[in-house]
Chains A and B, each alone.
Chain A
Amino acid sequence: MVVKPLTGNYAAAWAAKLARVKVVAAFPITPQTTIVEKLAQFIESGEMDARMIRVESEHSALAAVYGAASGGVRAFTATASHGLMYMHEMLWWVAGARIPMVMAVAMRTMGPPWNIWTDHSDIMGQRDTGWLIMLAEHNQEVLDETIKMFKITEDERVYLPGIVGLDAFILSHTTEPVDLPDQEVVDTFLPGRKQPYSFRPGDPLIMGNIPRSLKENMKMREDIHRSQEAAKEVIGEVDKEWGELTGRSYGGLVECYRCSDAKHFIVGAGAWVGDMREAVDRLRAEHGFKAGLVKVRYVRPFPREEMVKWLANAKSVIVFDRSVSPGSAGPLFLDTVTHLTISGVRAPVKNVLAGLTGLDVTYGDIMDAFIASVSEVEEMGTFTKTIEWFYGR
């Protein structure tokens, strides 16, 4: 075990190396690029025993690692923004083929105009593909969760690919001390590659030809959904196991911060959860609010049970979204409202759309949005505006 100053991108690269990935393919895109640059360096220097396929596009990047993973080896790629959207078709294919693999996404907004800063439009645009999707808060979590994601995706109850999201620049290019586990620890935690099938010469297996029965085909879709549900348990188990090995456990799909006596909750995912912690501390210390924070680590599978558990008796819930489905609302808000409502939780829920296109959001901004909204609830019992575009101070 050694503590190293690492950017989020280097943490992702170290994780792929420690997971003994055998094939890497990627196409450069800001702010992901340094992940694969680092991996290329590891591979060329002989520190990492893997192949690098230097493809001509992101579509081909995911196609190449899919081919490698289908062939029976552990594979990794990374991308962001337009690159992820260009891969979108392949994301469906990998999940539908039930091939486990891991991808890091350095979350960045979408154009036009050209803009390299963070928001969650890219990753949230992949919610329907069948991939497990988690958003990290800090670089240690990037490293831990990337290693864990191999174990989770290679569990036979899951057998789906997974994404680890890290916010552009805030994590991808910011250096933090990261505890690097020893190779032996990772090897114990993550034994040899596991997958449902692989292509071998002389073994006439066919993946993806036209189905005779559409009922069977629809069942395949349902099966992906069931495996996502089953992944909830696996994510919890793996988190616990990793915690026992390294002392770092994150609580499964959700981490609740200062929740035991909280009445008013902030819900968020990604790097700005760090600012939300600060906001909650100050709202309690400086303003006397019983504030709590639900950090959503996994958006797929969506943590229905844990959200219900923490928010069942909330007086109000403010969901911060860093992306939006124009004409509807923020995706985290939509999921939260849906799953609370169908579970009979009737707390007032508000959507704050903030930080889109990379607009900076500080803990002060979060406090402002919280104070204005919660004061309204305390006065009138509900929110007057349930979807608010928030531009900060």
Chain B
Amino acid sequence: MVINIKELPKEKYLLPGNAACPGCPESLGLKYLGMALGDKVILVVPAGCTSVIQGLAPGAGFKFPTLNVPFASSDSVASGLAAAKEILGEDAVVVAWAGDGGTADIGFATLSGAAERNDNIIHICVDNEAYMNTGIQRSSLTPYGAWTTTTWTGKRERKKDLALIMLAHRVPYVATASIAYPTDFIEKVRKAASIKGFKFIHLHAPCPVGWRFDPGKTVTVAKLAVETGMWILYEAVDGKVTISPFSRPYLDKSKRKPIREYLKLQDRFRNIRDEDIKKLEQMVDEAWETLLKFA
């Protein structure tokens, strides 16, 4: 299935007047989600940036039916909602749309529970690599060495490999994606929607506010994450990993750009030391090596 961007529906689901920051990667993701699935989507959104992006009630800059829910509940609410839609025979795709905190940290138990039960929902983790909505605090998905407002001298722990953990749940579909590659993301969302059971998509979403870069460079930074090999695009159907076309060139390590090019655009890495960059490079190599064992 190849996505032709010109043939995507023009209907907008993220509307003017929404409250996203300039250069917001989540709003890009939401636009692509609308292009991918249109009217079939019902969103379940735990606390996070997307709670704010919707805009102020009683208005909304959102055309998705949206159920806002407490942090640690999104996948369970989505499971119940999906069950109701099946019982009532309505053709809906229930999507839990959560940040890194709502997915990998406070929301992790509900995520793992829904995955283990193989409930018929899609969980999309919009990963901006810190708790941005509360003011840039570190999460388990913040990368090693990054400044946040709770790691002033740089995070000392590595980024949790969330997609691999979801793969270990042996759910029918796991994928990574990036807001810089909309066709790849849309294709994955559509594929996920066509599969019954639990689907997980980890969407890399560089945040200009939290990562300290020019809001005009969101897509550039996101692309560099892929081109340096720091973010690997892949999908796994029934546990079998396939590297996605946009990441395939970087199977060859020599094709990867130096990670410094990615780091230097972001002020969160402004004070990173050379030895920490070496460690990050090592982590990139390890991530590829581990992932390819499942290919």
Contact = CB atoms under 8 A, between A and B. Distances in A.
Interface of A: 22-23, 25, 51, 53-57, 59-61, 63-73, 75, 89-90, 93, 198-212, 216
Nearest to A211: B57
B245 interface: no
Given A54-B117, A211-B57, 18 more contacts: A55-B76, A55-B113, A56-B113, A57-B113, A59-B72, A59-B110, A65-B80, A66-B77, A67-B78, A69-B80, A70-B84, A71-B88, A199-B67, A201-B39, A202-B39, A205-B65, A207-B68, A209-B56
B189 interface: no
B70 interface: yes
B83 A71 contact: yes
Given A59-B73, A70-B77, A201-B41, A23 B87 contact: yes
Which 9 residue pairs across A and B have the least CB separation, nearest first? A71-B84, A67-B80, A208-B68, A56-B113, A63-B73, A63-B76, A68-B80, A67-B77, A60-B76
Contacts of A67: 44, 67, 76-84
Contact of B62 (A64, A71, A89, A204): A204
B83 A23 contact: yes
A51 B109 CA distance: 21
B112 to A, nearest CB: 7
B85 interface: yes
Nearest to B93: A201
Contacts of A216: 58
Nearest to A205: B65
Contacts of B81: 67-68, 70-71, 199
- Among B39, B54, B81, B88, find the residue whose CB has the most chain A CB atoms closer than 10 A: B81
A64 B67 contact: no
B65 A203 contact: yes
A210 B39 contact: no
Contact of B68 (A90, A201, A209): A209
Contacts of A75: 80
Interface in B64-122: 64-70, 72-73, 75-85, 87-88, 90-93, 109-110, 112-113, 116-117, 119
Contacts of B240: none
A207 B76 contact: no
Contact of B77 (A54, A64, A73): A64
Given A68-B83, A201-B39, A201-B90, A63 B69 contact: yes
B52 A57 contact: no
A186 B106 CA distance: 41
Contact of A209 (B41, B51, B82): B51
Nearest to A201: B92
Interface string B33-67: 00000011110100000011011111110111111
Contact of B91 (A72, A73, A201, A208): A201
A211 B43 CA distance: 19
A208 B55 CA distance: 11
Contacts of B44: 67
A63 B75 CA distance: 9
Contacts of B91: 201
A51 B83 contact: yes
A200 B65 contact: yes
A209 B60 contact: yes
A59 B78 CA distance: 13
B12 to A, nearest CB: 11
A220 to B, nearest CB: 10
Nearest to B61: A209
Nearest to B121: A67
A56 B67 contact: no
Contacts of A90: 70, 73
B117 A93 contact: no
Contacts of B54: 206, 209-210
Nearest to A68: B80
Contacts of A207: 66-68
B37 to A, nearest CB: 9
A211 B57 CA distance: 4
Nearest to A93: B70
Contacts of A210: 51-52, 54, 56-57
24 contacts: A55-B79, A56-B116, A57-B113, A59-B76, A60-B75, A60-B109, A60-B113, A67-B67, A68-B81, A68-B83, A71-B88, A89-B72, A93-B69, A199-B81, A201-B39, A201-B65, A201-B85, A203-B65, A204-B60, A204-B64, A204-B66, A208-B68, A209-B60, A212-B59
A208 B63 contact: no
Nearest to A49: B87
Nearest to A59: B72
Contacts of B57: 206, 209-212
